[in-house]
Structure 1
Amino acid sequence: MTDTDRLILQSLAEGFGVSLLVGAVITLLMLAKSLRDFARTGPQIAEGVLSHYRLYLAYALGRLTFYAFLISTLMAFVGSILYVGGMALLGYDFDITVAIVAASSSLLVLSGRQFLRKLLYSPGLIASSSHYSMTHFYALWEQLTPARLRALDIVLWGATAAWLGAALVSLAGAADWLGFGLILCISLAYIIVMSLSAWQREPRPVKARGDRSRPNIIMIGADTLRADRVNGMGYPRELTPTLEALAGRATRFTDCYVPCARTAPSLASMLTGTWPHTHGVRDNFLSPADTHLPVAALPDILRRQGYRTAAVGDWAISDLNKLDFGFEYTEMPHDQWNIKYLLRQGPKDIRLFLSLFTQNLFGKMLLPEIYYLGGHPLTEEVGRDTRRMIARLAQRDEPFFLMSFMATTHPPFASKYPYYTMYADREYRGESKFAMARLRDPFEIIRRQGEPKTEFDLDQIINLYDGCVKNFDDELKRILDYLEDSGLSDNTVVVIFSDHGMEFFEHETWGQGNSAIGDFSARVPLIIADPRNRQQQTVSSVVRTVDLAPTLLDLIGAPRDGGMEGVSLARFMHGEPADEDLPAFYETGVWLTDLPGTPDGHLRYPSLPELLEVPDKASGMISLKPEFQDIVVAAKDRMVRLGEWKLTYQPLEDGSIYQLFNIREDPACRHNVIDRNPEIAARLKSKLECWMHD
């Protein structure tokens, strides 16, 4: 071992110690600021409940602190390696002060690089992970382009490679092979780690196998996708060319209704073919007892029919993880309405730092609660997961059923580059440039539900939403192309769906599941493409998402479960007329606060924080308090649609309000015609009351 080798070895050891010190100091500063400004995700729960989780919170913070320290140290050590390489190249002695500056500078530069990349490509991630107003970053964002970020990387990594390369040449020339090997191995290790973390493996098309006598089924959905955004529905922007092309060889149902515009009850009805009062899921805040469905679900039925079943998605699909639908494989986060999961996401400052580095394979494996952060859709990632799952399932002999569900179109509408720029005004300077503003704190979300239209930059928000719709359509194309390239498209039934729509103040409020007057939450897109029947059909008759499960069973020739309340829509797909109009029933979800436009005397209950508890401390599931469950159900607005007529019901403290609308003549439901049509109103009222009290 030469003297230079000994010096390099000692300096690397000292440099690593300096990196540990810098990483520890930076991490402790982040932790201190996070604790001072502590704000966790999720709804607020009584302090008595939180006190029960003091030790768990300490564990969660310790876990996040460890990963923040690990990442900080690794980035600081890059500077230490460069400093030691300079010793070999320029011949100076190790100076701990300069080493600290080198390590700190490396940490700052690499963190800054990640921040700039996220600010351009995923600004919604920063918005959902921090306290800071995004307006502070507008001037910086305006300077960012993909070409400039590529140039920055070329300069940054080129200079690093040149510096270390020169140091290695110098060490090799002096035959200092130990120092040469150490620096080379550490550099290669960093390259491998960075390559693996950035690697987004796109599966190759597979060769279709299996029993081709029965078709595969793939359901692809986007949370909060409005029916009117699909091409062919009259919207002026052409957002969905892929959906339009698919509808050209499929059956498009223009008037499909969900029974409740909340994710958990909607998906439960879709997969069981039953109404919410039958399967028992009336909102997203289930009790542990409610997670055991009393009826059979489509994935479980299909498994008994010899199908392989799977589900993939981002945070929007997490409700599926607390209900036993019978999926054999799942790739999704845990239930996010869980106090333990939310505590693990930690306070916002340390979460912001971690989120810059964990939107990758390592983050998905080690910090899934940060990777699957609510408010940040993973459209492209879920698309890849979907294609990988298709490849996995298609290599088996059995047919398969796959459900893919994305948060792409869910508030706060934070799509990635370039989608958030596609329809928005670049000169816009309000708070909602990258995502709908003021939805990062639980109390902000509750307050925003009660704010009037004048408090929102509605044009900008709609522009962001439309970019999200285009994002979903483009990702759908990649999935459909993969099916085609794998030879699966001619034996796979494809279903496009949503769990509910979205209200943009058409009836005084925004969100989903708040109003039964308009159809903007209740009506969803539904397209069923069966490759054995490529005839284009557009069905304007009223159908329901409870009809989807029996329809899919009918299409594969399997018997429907006797408990299903929906009916098969297969006859529509063959151009047959309906025997009679199907009644579509709908109820609103849990209101977060008093809503604009609510009639005086409406039956009410406390706002969300007072409604919630954690009855099972071991599981951490957030549930409605039992004493409020009956009033929450009783206070729901309802509606029934039959043919062209729609009757709405709003419960009052003393009585109720009924309104009747003709959807064909008045699609926006602005003109109550109940006084002119008492017989129709009486007939629909009878149907609605039977459904409500079933």
Structure 2
Amino acid sequence: MTSESSLPAQITVKRTFWRTAFLMLLSIGLLLYYRQILQFYTPLAIADTITHIKQEHLLNTALILDIVYFIVVVISLHLFWVMLITISCIPWIKSNYSDNTKTLIWLTIFTTHLTLSLALNSILYPTSLLAFLRDTLLDSWAAVILLAIPSGLLLLHALWQLIGRFTTSVLFTILTAGILTGLNSYPGYQEKQQSPNIIIIGIDGLRPDHLAHRGMTPQLAPGLNSFLSNSIIFDKTYTPMARTYVAWMSLLKGQYPVTHEARFNLTDPDIVDKKFPLLQQLKNKNYRTLYAMDERRFNHIDEEYGFDRVIGPKLGAADAIITHSADLPLVNLLVNTSLSEYLMPFLNLNRAYGKAYNPENFNQRVISSMATDRPNFVAVHFCMLHWPYTSREFIADLPVPWQGNYNHYMYQAMLPKMDAQFSAFMDQLKRSGQLDNALVYVFSDHGEGFNLPRDQLTTSSTEPTELQVNAWGHGTNILNQPQSEVLLAFNRFQDGEPAIAPAIVDGLYSLIDIAPTLFSQLGLSNPAHAFDGEALHPETVPNMSNGDRLVFTESSIPVKAINTSFIDEKKVVSETASKYEINSLGRPQLKTELYPELLEKKQRAVYSDNWQLAILPDQQQPVLVNTQSLQLHQLSDYKGDAPWQVMLRALCEHYQDDPGFDEHGYCKQVETMAHSRY
């Protein structure tokens, strides 16, 4: 006779739960292993490259809490999924079927759930590394429906038995109503306002020469090109520095970096003056102020800078780790729901998580956050054009040829996606009444270098030069003109339509001109600090003239390893890791004590008309560039009529307080150099 202790364990609800949990863990482990084979670099190595996180930084309490919170959320979500699968099995567990049959039913239900999640992930997020069911029979909504209906019915049947039909029906109704409400949440229509809305739209990395007014095929960005064709374009505009945070700080303050002292991305916020006089005066006029950005790892602007609300992913060093660890079907399926704002704040509205980023959600969040009963000041930044040029969908065929430059081709492939986001945003503004009375500025924070032949500088000397006359990236080389030249356009809207005559304005302009222009347009009181920028008076375009204008620009931290088509993360880390730290909020920042050393390495330049004069820390003398012909001259060899003396004096005065500037003493020799030519 067989003893009771030797009988096989019966299948129970508890046992089914733990079997499901184990099988779920095994499945996730296999998915992660498969993903790692494709990803090559570990998430920490990628984070190390992007935000300079080293292993010693992982001891930071705030960073640890951010990562632990994400891990706990992911585990909890999968355990909840395990619970749903277990509940679906309960009617069968309590049936009179044999244990083998119950096990087969359980495995079928589990496999159906897992396959359903993988199929949905492949359909909704085809660029996910785990979208391996794409281009199979399961890559269709018909297959999803065939998998979802039995899974849903089994769960409903089990719930009816556990809690009753009435309670189940109530829960199902509440869930359905919540989903439909989220899908159909439209912003209200703005009441007529006497004061205009102010809308500043930044487009990350947009090169003006990739737009129709500069000769590029209009099909790459039809919506933006249409907007520009009805706007005033300030044709030759430069960024004070080709980095996002510094560019926005300069724009909002109307000052050069040497004045507001935010000289680098990830500058320690404690040494930056966070008060924007523009925001302070607009708040006094009852404006609601919003700042929205869909990729914030290099930009610390938040509510402390004076905005009523900041929209975008959570700031922190954990961003780079989480965005490169999160690619799991269940995470992807929830990241674009309203729950992700609380459960996955680093992934919510984050363009850096390109495989799942939905620009429509970002647009909707911005529009729905705008006031309908008072005027708005909205500063929004779209990062679709930013490296590494990934998106939720695969790229479409382009009306431009492949020329062997991968980064440039992918950049052009992102232009239509950026354009779709911009066009949808403008359409939503119009439909919500936010363009019935509005001032709209569109700009790019910096351009981008792709080492293109057309960007190559030529030298007037027959002697070989050691100067780097072309470059990759942005903020790396001020001689690479596309890095610093940016878009700047203005339009006034009345009743949803453009209300000014379009024009392309010659001259020389800077992003620091936007703040003083707004002060002039709105009749605001002059701030206590002086503007470095100039009011543009776009309503009087025919009378504009600034032929003697000088505009300054400077480089960021020089990183030789970034000046390549494909970044070697080990070289980048070896160059940059020691310059950063993680602060008490878990955010990466530049070490303040290294500021003087890094300032010494900056490149600096001044523009006048079609000329650029630059002082480079590794060169014995200044260089002069004709920005039309792209010809470079060593200043000591130049014999033409460029106003280099005026430019050199201005450059020396502008940067005279920077440590290590002009170590070769050219600023002291301006007059001597001028007399020696004639």
TM-score with structure 1 length normalisation?
Answer: 0.76
Paired AA for residue 421 in structure 1:
A
**Which of residues 335, 339, 352 in structure 2 aligns to 1:374?**
352
CA 1:415–1:188: 2 relative to 1, 3 Å: farther
Equivalence for 1:300: 280
> 1:641 Cα shift?
1.3
2-structure distance, mates of 1:277, 1:182:
69
Equivalence for 1:409: 385
Q: Say yes or no: does 1:115 pair with 2:81.
A: no
Paired AA for residue 51 in structure 2:
P
CA 1:621–1:313: 2 relative to 1, 3 Å: closer
Q: Say yes or no: does 1:154 pair with 2:158.
A: no
The answer on whether the counterparts of 1:375 and 1:411 sit within 8 Å (CA) in structure 2 is no
The answer on whether the counterparts of 1:27 and 1:68 sit within 8 Å (CA) in structure 2 is no
Paired AA for residue 431 in structure 2:
D
**Secondary structure class of the residue paired with 2:43:** coil
1-structure distance, mates of 2:446, 2:414:
15
Paired AA for residue 179 in structure 1:
Q
**Which of residues 253, 258, 261 in structure 2 aligns to 1:280?**
261
Paired AA for residue 151 in structure 1:
A
Equivalence for 1:661: 625
**Secondary structure class of the residue paired with 1:232:** helix
Paired AA for residue 502 in structure 1:
E
Q: Where do 5+ consecutive residues of structure 2 fail to align?
A: 1-10, 453-468, 565-571, 658-678
The aligned runs of 1:504-653 (5 Å cut-off) are: 504-506=450-452, 507-531=469-493, 533-561=499-527, 562-571=529-538, 573-594=540-561, 607-614=575-582, 616=583, 618-652=584-618
**Which of residues 331, 353, 372 in structure 2 aligns to 1:354?**
331
Q: Deviations over 1:309-364 (max 9, x none)?
A: 1122212486243584311122223334x4x6656x28737778634542332222
The answer on whether the counterparts of 1:27 and 1:69 sit within 8 Å (CA) in structure 2 is no
Equivalence for 2:434: 488
Paired AA for residue 692 in structure 1:
Y
**Secondary structure class of the residue paired with 1:110:** helix
Paired AA for residue 504 in structure 2:
T
CA 1:203–1:496: 2 relative to 1, 3 Å: farther
**Secondary structure class of the residue paired with 2:214:** coil
Q: Deviations over 1:64-115 (max 9, x none)?
A: 3332222323334444444445679x96356664465246424531342243
**Secondary structure class of the residue paired with 2:489:** strand
2-structure distance, mates of 1:461, 1:567:
36
Equivalence for 1:501: 447
How many equivalent residue pairs?
A: 607
**Secondary structure class of the residue paired with 1:538:** strand
The answer on whether the counterparts of 1:223 and 1:316 sit within 8 Å (CA) in structure 2 is no
Q: Which moved more, 1:521-530 or 1:319-328?
A: 319-328
Paired AA for residue 337 in structure 2:
N
**Secondary structure class of the residue paired with 1:549:** helix
Q: Deviations over 1:360-392 (max 9, x none)?
A: 3222221111333735254222211122123xx
**Secondary structure class of the residue paired with 1:489:** coil
2-structure distance, mates of 1:184, 1:75:
23
Equivalence for 1:471: 417
CA 1:417–1:594: 2 relative to 1, 3 Å: closer
**Which of residues 92, 96, 100 in structure 1 aligns to 2:97?**
92
The aligned runs of 1:129-528 (5 Å cut-off) are: 141=134, 143=135, 148-161=139-152, 179=161, 182=164, 201=183, 203-204=185-186, 206-209=188-191, 212-293=193-274, 296-316=276-296, 319-321=299-301, 324-336=304-316, 338=317, 345=322, 348=325, 354-355=331-332, 357-371=334-348, 372=350, 374=352, 376=354, 378-390=358-370, 393-394=371-372, 396=373, 398-417=374-393, 420-423=395-398, 458-506=404-452, 507-528=469-490
> 1:22 Cα shift?
4.1
Equivalence for 1:437: none
Q: Deviations over 1:615-637 (max 9, x none)?
A: x4x23342333443112112111
Equivalence for 1:444: none
The answer on whether the counterparts of 1:386 and 1:479 sit within 8 Å (CA) in structure 2 is no
The answer on whether the counterparts of 1:351 and 1:370 sit within 8 Å (CA) in structure 2 is no
Q: Deviations over 1:193-219 (max 9, x none)?
A: 688579754543633325x32211111
2-structure distance, mates of 1:104, 1:204:
37
2-structure distance, mates of 1:518, 1:59:
42
TM-score with structure 2 length normalisation?
Answer: 0.78
1-structure distance, mates of 2:512, 2:53:
34
The answer on whether the counterparts of 1:265 and 1:276 sit within 8 Å (CA) in structure 2 is yes
The answer on whether the counterparts of 1:273 and 1:547 sit within 8 Å (CA) in structure 2 is yes
2-structure distance, mates of 1:342, 1:415:
17
> 1:547 Cα shift?
0.2
Q: Deviations over 1:557-581 (max 9, x none)?
A: 2234242211111156542221543
**Which of residues 54, 58, 66 in structure 1 aligns to 2:72?**
66
CA 1:164–1:34: 2 relative to 1, 3 Å: closer
Q: Deviations over 1:142-175 (max 9, x none)?
A: x269x9422222222234356678x68xxxxxxx
What is the percentage of aligned positions where both structures have the same residue?
A: 19
Equivalence for 1:691: 654
Q: Which moved more, 1:555-564 or 1:269-278?
A: 555-564
CA 1:152–1:573: 2 relative to 1, 3 Å: farther
1-structure distance, mates of 2:562, 2:324:
29
**Secondary structure class of the residue paired with 1:321:** coil
**Secondary structure class of the residue paired with 1:92:** coil
Q: Which moved more, 1:95-104 or 1:555-564?
A: 95-104
> 1:119 Cα shift?
4.3
Paired AA for residue 341 in structure 2:
K
The answer on whether the counterparts of 1:259 and 1:585 sit within 8 Å (CA) in structure 2 is yes
1-structure distance, mates of 2:217, 2:399:
15
1-structure distance, mates of 2:254, 2:540:
18
> 1:413 Cα shift?
1.2
The answer on whether the counterparts of 1:582 and 1:643 sit within 8 Å (CA) in structure 2 is yes
Q: Say yes or no: does 1:43 pair with 2:23.
A: no
Paired AA for residue 578 in structure 1:
S
2-structure distance, mates of 1:283, 1:323:
20
